[in-house]
């Protein structure tokens, strides 16, 4: 089912970085490059028109996957590109002097740096916006009460990670959504949740949401950006050019219909077709099945590591009062740095992520802030988790 895993005895525990690819995804990429390669919708001949229909089909499937409509789904170069599109196509056009954005400094850099960039760009035009940080709880979730306390009449957007890429904690903002002014938009980074558990952007109350294809069995270089219908009139063209559908007038560029407005240039056609195959695969397996599998492995990993002296869990499911987990656990081990531990584990056949995991550096931060992150998926087994736990126990005994 996953060809790359049949060629090795290594245990892959880094699915939060990228997932392994099922055969049908690999076949979709190979088929595009080896048979009837064309540019979708740029010609009237069957090769081109068929591809255009295929891409429309993937968009429809992606919309169903997210709980959206096809015109609300934009194909991007990835989640980072999607978040930058929100910052540039919405932020530059709508943020006024004194407006505020609430964000977490402990989120992935892709959910932080675009807003820092927009703030710097707006300063050049005499507009000063405020980026207001909110806290993260010991469970790794966004601190909803802290967010509520920091809401003002100038708050325009709250950006949040749905499933945290280091802490493995789920945030929905459910507790405060009913208290928000309609002018306050919600942006969710669903890079880790999409493909791991059911995601419904309508139920989340999202105005924007992003997903990364390569983290949900698809190919790198492709992503999804959800833009709720109510924000369409607030969006300027992103990457205007061929295929973006905008028209030139004396006053500038007239916006095109969505989603063309946000999709200038040639699509990543093999990436989109691969995404379609990945969505089909996810539908066959079932997101509830995947979520249950990852939950069981998460709890097994936590229970196995918890007795170890010197092992400290980062915020996340290990600190939750109830049994929960989404396939991501991060920890440190006394006596050995995270990077060194990662090297040792790799030598022993366990592939994990180490370091700061793309969290923006904090003032005074050092290598002590690094950790080991274990992230599981459908292809991991309980036996692999048990072997990993035994390996960590052996290393802990040696470093003591």
Looking at residue 373, which CATH number applies to its domain? 3.90.1150.10
Model confidence pLDDT, tens digit, residues 310-362: 999 999 999 998 889 999 999 999 999 999 999 999 999 999 999 888 888 86
Domain with 270, as residue range(s), is 23-283
Q: Percentage of the chain surpassing pLDDT 70? A: 95
State which H helix or E strand residue 62 sits in: helix 46-66
Strands annotated E in 250-360: 252-254, 311-313, 328-333, 350-351, 353-355
Looking at residue 214, which CATH number applies to its domain? 3.40.640.10
What Å distances lie between residue 392 and 166, 297, 299, 318, 357, CA to CA?
19, 16, 16, 17, 20
Answer yes or no: do 123 and 144 share one domain.
yes
The answer to whether the beta carbons of residues 163 and 192 sit under 8 Å apart is: yes
In DSSP notation, 216-255 reads TTS-TT-EEEEE-GGGGGGPPPSS-STTS--EEETTEEEP
Number of independent structural domains in the chain: 2
Mean pLDDT across 266-285: 97
Model confidence pLDDT, tens digit, residues 198-256: 999 999 999 999 999 999 999 999 999 999 999 999 999 888 776 655 566 555 555 67
Model confidence pLDDT, tens digit, residues 119-139: 999 999 999 999 999 999 999
The answer to whether the beta carbons of residues 222 and 213 sit under 8 Å apart is: yes
Residue 351 CA to residue 81 CA, distance in Å, equals 27
Is a pLDDT exceeding 60 seen at residue 270? yes
pLDDT of residue 251: 53
Answer yes or no: do 267 and 300 share one domain.
no
The tokens 């400094």 sit on which residue?
105
Model confidence band, residue 41 (pLDDT cutoffs 50, 70, 90): confident
pLDDT of residue 364: 46
Answer yes or no: do 234 and 311 share one domain.
no
Mean pLDDT across 79-85: 97
Answer yes or no: do 181 and 239 share one domain.
yes
pLDDT of residue 247: 61
pLDDT of residue 366: 46
Answer yes or no: do 278 and 341 share one domain.
no
Answer yes or no: do 91 and 236 share one domain.
yes
Domain boundary residue, one of 268, 283, 298: 283
Model confidence pLDDT, tens digit, residues 360-393: 886 444 455 799 999 999 999 999 999 999 999 9
Domain boundary residue, one of 283, 304, 331: 283
Q: Percentage of the chain surpassing pLDDT 90? A: 85
Answer yes or no: do 278 and 307 share one domain.
no
Is a pLDDT exceeding 70 seen at residue 308? yes
Strand partners, 102: 132, 158
pLDDT of residue 238: 83
Answer yes or no: do 232 and 248 share one domain.
yes
Domain boundary residue, one of 222, 250, 283: 283
Q: Which residues of 73-83 are buried (b: 16+ CB within 10 A; e: fewer)?
A: bbbbbbbbbbb
- Average predicted confidence (pLDDT) for the chain: 93
Model confidence pLDDT, tens digit, residues 60-73: 999 999 999 999 99
Answer yes or no: do 361 and 391 share one domain.
yes
Answer yes or no: do 171 and 226 share one domain.
yes
Mean pLDDT across 182-196: 97
Is a pLDDT exceeding 50 seen at residue 186? yes
* Residues designated as active site: 358
Answer yes or no: do 346 and 223 share one domain.
no
Answer yes or no: do 299 and 238 share one domain.
no
Is a pLDDT exceeding 60 seen at residue 15? yes
């Amino acid at each position: 089912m996953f060809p790359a895993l049949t060629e090795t005895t290594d245990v892959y525990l880094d699915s939060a970085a990228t997932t392994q690819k099922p055969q049908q995804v690999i076949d979709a990429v190979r088929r595009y490059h080896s048979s009837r390669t064309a540019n979708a919708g740029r010609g009237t001949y069957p090769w081109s028109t068929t591809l255009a229909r295929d891409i429309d089909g993937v968009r429809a499937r992606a919309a169903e996957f997210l709980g959206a409509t096809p015109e609300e789904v934009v194909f991007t170069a990835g989640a980072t590109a999607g978040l930058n599109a929100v910052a540039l196509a919405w932020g530059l056009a709508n943020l006024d002097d004194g407006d505020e954005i609430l964000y977490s400094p402990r989120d992935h850099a892709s959910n932080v740096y675009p807003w820092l960039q927009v703030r710097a760009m707006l300063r050049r035009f005499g507009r000063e916006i405020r980026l207001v940080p909110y806290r993260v709880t010991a469970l790794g979730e966004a601190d909803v009460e802290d967010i509520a306390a920091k809401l003002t009449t100038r708050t325009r957007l709250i950006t949040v990670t749905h499933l945290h890429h280091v802490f493995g904690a789920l945030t929905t903002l459910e507790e405060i959504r009913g208290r928000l002014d309609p002018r306050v938009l919600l942006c969710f980074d669903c890079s880790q949740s999409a493909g791991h558990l059911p995601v419904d952007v309508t139920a989340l109350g999202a105005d924007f949401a992003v997903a990364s294809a390569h983290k949900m069995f698809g190919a790198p270089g492709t992503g999804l950006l959800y833009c709720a219908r109510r924000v369409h009139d607030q969006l300027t063209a992103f990457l205007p050019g061929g295929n973006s559908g905008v028209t030139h007038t004396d006053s500038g560029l007239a916006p095109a219909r969505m989603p063309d407005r946000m999709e200038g240039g040639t699509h990543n056609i093999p990436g989109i077709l691969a995404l379609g195959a990945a969505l089909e695969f996810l539908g066959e397996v079932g997101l509830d099945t995947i979520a249950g599998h990852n939950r069981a492995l998460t709890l097994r990993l936590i229970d196995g590591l918890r007795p170890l002296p010197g092992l400290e869990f980062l915020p996340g499911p290990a600190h939750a009062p109830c049994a929960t987990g989404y396939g991501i656990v991060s920890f440190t081990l006394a006596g050995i740095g995270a990077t060194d531990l990662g090297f040792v584990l790799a030598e022993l056949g366990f592939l994990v992520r180490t370091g700061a995991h793309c969290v923006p550096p904090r003032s005074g931060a050092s290598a002590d802030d690094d950790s080991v992150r274990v992230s599981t998926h459908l292809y991991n087994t309980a036996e692999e988790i048990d072997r990993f736990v035994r390996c960590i126990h052996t290393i802990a005994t040696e470093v003591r």
